[in-house]
C-alpha cells in the first residue's frame, strides 16, 4: 500500500545527531504485521497505522524486518526530519535517529542475524557518520519518561548489540 507523501507535515532536523534509539514496532502500530515479524514483506502494513494516526509518515527513521531469510533495513522516515516521541526529552529527541525492529520482543528473542544486520548496516555507519561512540546507543525504555515502557522488549539485549557494533566497527 502507498501513502501520500507529505513532508511539509514533518519537523525538519536542525541539530546534529547525537543519539541512536532502538525500538520495536508493536508499541505504536496495532496491525498484526507490526507485532510478529515473519518472512513476508510487512513494513507496508505500518502505513495503515500512519493513516489511522493521520500522521505524515512512519514514526521511525528505519524499520528492520525479515524478508525471506534475511533482515532488511527499510527507510521509513527521511533522516532530514524528526520523529515525534513526546515521552523522550526534546533535547535528546531533536538529536536522535530512531530505528525499530519489526515485531514485539517481550515474548520473542531477536535472532543473532537480526543484531548483525542492525549493527553492520545501520548502527555502525551512523556512529561513523556522526562521530559517535557506542555509548550513544540507547533503548527507548532507557529514555522514556514512562517507567512502564519496555520498548524494544525484555528480550532485546543492548549488550549483544554493542558486542556486534564492536565486531563490525568502521575504522
Q: How far is the CB of 20 from Zn ion (least distance, A)?
A: 13
* Closer to Zn ion by Cβ: residue 23 or 66: 23
How many residues bind Zn ion (CB under 5 A)? The answer is 4
* Closer to Zn ion by Cβ: residue 71 or 85: 85
* Closer to Zn ion by Cβ: residue 27 or 104: 27
Q: For residue 51, what is the DSSP state? A: H
Q: For residue 8, what is the DSSP state? A: G
Cβ atoms within 10 Å of 19's Cβ, excluding its own? 20
Q: Mark 146-165 with x for binding to Zn ion (rule: CB under 5 A) and - for no binding.
A: -----x--------------
Q: Residue 87 is placed in which grid cell? A: 515521552
Q: How far is the CB of 60 from Zn ion (least distance, A)?
A: 8
Applying CB under 5 A, among 140, 150, 156, 161 the residue interacting with Zn ion is 140
Is the Cβ–Cβ distance between 60 and 83 less than 8 Å?
Answer: yes
Q: For residue 87, what is the DSSP state? A: T
Q: How far is the CB of 68 from Zn ion (least distance, A)?
A: 26
Q: Which of residues 108-127 bind Zn ion (CB under 5 A)?
A: none
Q: Which of 22, 24, 23, 20 is nearest to 134 (CA)?
A: 20
Mark 62-91 as b/e (b = at least 16 C-beta within 10 Å): bbbbbbeeebebbebbeeebbbebeebeee
The backbone torsions φ and ψ at residue 13, rounded to the nearest 5 degrees and listed phi first, read -70, 130
Q: Using CB under 5 A, which of the segments 16-24, 34-42, 43-51, 62-70 binds Zn ion?
A: 16-24
Per CB under 5 A, does 35 bind Zn ion? no
Per CB under 5 A, does 23 bind Zn ion? yes
* Closer to Zn ion by Cβ: residue 117 or 151: 151
* Contacting positions for Zn ion (CB under 5 A): 23, 27, 140, 151
Amino acid at each position: 500500500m502507498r501513502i501520500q507523501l507529505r513532508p511539509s507535515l514533518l519537523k525538519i532536523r536542525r541539530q546534529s545527531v547525537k543519539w541512536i534509539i532502538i525500538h520495536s514496532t508493536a508499541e505504536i502500530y496495532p496491525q498484526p504485521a507490526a507485532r510478529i515479524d515473519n518472512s513476508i514483506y510487512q513494513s507496508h502494513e505500518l502505513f495503515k497505522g500512519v493513516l489511522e494516526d493521520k500522521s505524515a509518515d512512519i514514526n521511525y527513521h528505519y524499520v528492520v524486518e525479515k524478508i525471506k531469510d534475511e533482515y532488511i533495513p527499510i527507510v521509513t522516515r527521511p533522516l532530514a526530519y524528526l520523529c515525534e516521541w513526546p515521552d523522550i526529552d526534546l533535547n535528546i529527541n531533536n538529536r536522535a535517529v530512531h530505528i525499530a525492529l519489526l515485531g514485539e520482543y517481550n515474548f520473542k528473542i531477536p535472532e543473532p542475524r537480526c543484531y548483525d544486520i542492525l549493527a553492520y548496516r545501520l548502527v555502525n555507519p551512523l556512529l561513523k557518520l556522526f562521530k559517535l561512540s557506542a555509548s550513544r546507543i540507547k533503548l527507548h525504555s532507557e529514555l522514556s519518561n514512562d517507567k512502564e515502557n519496555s520498548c524494544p522488549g525484555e528480550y532485546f539485549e543492548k549488550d549483544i548489540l554493542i558486542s556486534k557494533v564492536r565486531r563490525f566497527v568502521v575504522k
